[in-house]
């Protein structure tokens, strides 16, 4: 497990290096899916860059007052986080950690902090997750329950 005191956050800026890192994190979340496609690296990269740009535009339109934060561990960029603080809930919009840093407590720490903030301010913590995402087990372990679902996504809440 990691030393939680070494986990910090910095705002992601519009700098090329921050955008490149965010893309790297995004692409790392789609590795299993890409393996199944049978595409070469160039085809995967083209597809993932298009998907990343669409995701970024969608988030900017839905959450115009929110900004990504980069998650650092001991000063090294290891992931990114997008949170929307609403009147009744803190919405975890996007959190992703690079594969090398997964499964060692960083994501749990990040999510627990949001949950504690929500409880302290009388709000719930909410998120949407793709049905096939293995993180569902983490969310359930942390106390999230399903509040709605459709063919593609599950909405989860912690109150």
CB atoms within 10 A of CB 77: 19
Residue 16 pLDDT greater than 90, yes or no: no
Residue 13 pLDDT greater than 90, yes or no: no
Cα gap 132→153, rounded to integer Å: 9
Cα gap 99→69, rounded to integer Å: 18
User: Strand locations in the chain, DSSP E?
Assistant: 7-11, 69-73, 76-85, 89-97, 124-130, 145-149, 153-158
pLDDT at 10 (0 to 100): 96
Instruction: Catalogue all structural domains in the chain, each as residue range(s) with its CATH number.
Output: 7-158 (3.40.630.30)
For 60, phi then psi, to 5°, come to -65, -35
Cα gap 38→16, rounded to integer Å: 30
How do residues 73-122 score in pLDDT, each as one tens digit?
Answer: 999 999 999 999 999 999 999 999 999 999 999 999 999 999 999 999 99
Cα gap 70→85, rounded to integer Å: 17
3-class secondary-structure state, position 12: coil
3-class secondary-structure state, position 41: helix
Q: Are 115 and 123 in contact (CB under 8 A)?
A: no
What distances in angstroms separate CA 39 from CA 45, 51, 103, one per listed residue? 10, 15, 28
pLDDT at 68 (0 to 100): 92
This prediction's pTM: 0.93
How do residues 121-139 score in pLDDT, each as one tens digit?
Answer: 999 999 999 999 999 999 9
């Amino acid at each position: 497990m990691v030393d939680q005191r070494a986990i910090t956050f910095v705002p992601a800026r519009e700098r090329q290096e921050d955008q490149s890192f965010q893309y790297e994190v995004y692409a790392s979340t789609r590795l299993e899916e890409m393996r199944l496609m049978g595409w070469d690296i160039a085809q995967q990269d083209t597809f993932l860059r298009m998907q990343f740009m669409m995701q970024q535009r969608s988030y900017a339109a839905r959450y115009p007052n929110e900004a990504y934060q980069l998650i650092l561990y001991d000063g090294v960029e290891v992931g990114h986080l997008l949170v929307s603080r609403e009147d009744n809930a803190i919405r975890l919009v996007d959190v992703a950690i690079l594969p090398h840093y997964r499964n060692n407590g960083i994501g749990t720490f990040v999510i627990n902090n949001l949950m504690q903030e929500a409880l302290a301010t009388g709000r719930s913590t909410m998120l949407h997750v793709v049905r096939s995402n293995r993180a569902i087990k983490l969310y359930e372990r942390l106390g999230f329950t399903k509040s709605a679902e459709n063919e593609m996504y599950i909405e989860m809440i912690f109150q």
